[in-house]
Amino acid sequence: MKLWGGNQFDFYSGYGSHDPKIIDSYLKVLVAFLKSHDKSLVVCDLGCGDFNIGKHLTKYAKKYVAIDIVKNLIERNKKIYKANNLEFDCLDIIEDELPSGHCIILRQVLQHLSNKDIEKISKKLALYKYIILTEHLPLGDFSPNKDIISGQGIRLKQNSGVDVLVPPFNLKIKDQKQLNEYVMENNRGRIVTTLFKTF
């Protein structure tokens, strides 16, 4: 429905996946993280979208599994992006079993989901050693995890955002490190990327 713009594209994951001001610093820290593991990680990209982000990361992983729920999008991505270590799968990350791997990339996906849906996903995340989570959060203090209906919108208008470490999710982690933060213009919050280590 082009609710995120991109009328000139067949599929478009929004300006958050295309604006160089947002994605350049994000890609820099992710490439550095993957390089530090010397192509030893199997990476699962949950909600890979139009793959404008993932296409820059594939070559730094042992295997890169890109997942999205939209079948036509996955078929399109398969035709455009090819590499020996790249695999595209059409899965519902809420209901389906996820592929095995070392590292999960979840970039601005949870923010669109209800708490019930996030709970189902968060239980699966503990199976991965590394979780690289990016969320659009309000500036300053906010009330985490106000519930929404899964869809196009996010919690920002409610001065809320997703925090997987607090109720109702309570993700158990060993360590965390903020990798990146981009402050949006016109008081529209900040996009924060955090690396969690679970074991």
Please report, for the domain that includes residue 155, its CATH number. 3.40.50.150
Residue 10 lies in a domain: no
Do the domain assignments include residue 3? no
What's the mean per-residue pLDDT of the chain? 94
The answer as to whether 5 is a domain residue is no
Q: Give the model's confidence band at 5: pLDDT under 50 very low, under 70 low, under 90 confident, else very high.
A: low
In a domain, 117, yes or no: yes
Q: In the chain, how many domains are there?
A: 1
Please determine, for residue 160, whether its predicted confidence score (pLDDT) is greater than 60.
yes
Residue 4 lies in a domain: no
Q: What is the pLDDT of residue 15?
A: 67
Output the pTM of the full model. 0.93
- Over residues 21-25, the mean pLDDT reads 95
Domain-located, residue 1:
no
State the residue range of the domain holding 63: 15-197
Instruction: Note whether 62 and 41 are within 8 A (CB).
Output: yes
22 in any annotated domain: yes
- pLDDT tens digits, 36-45: 999 999 999 9
**Is residue 6 domain-resident?**
no
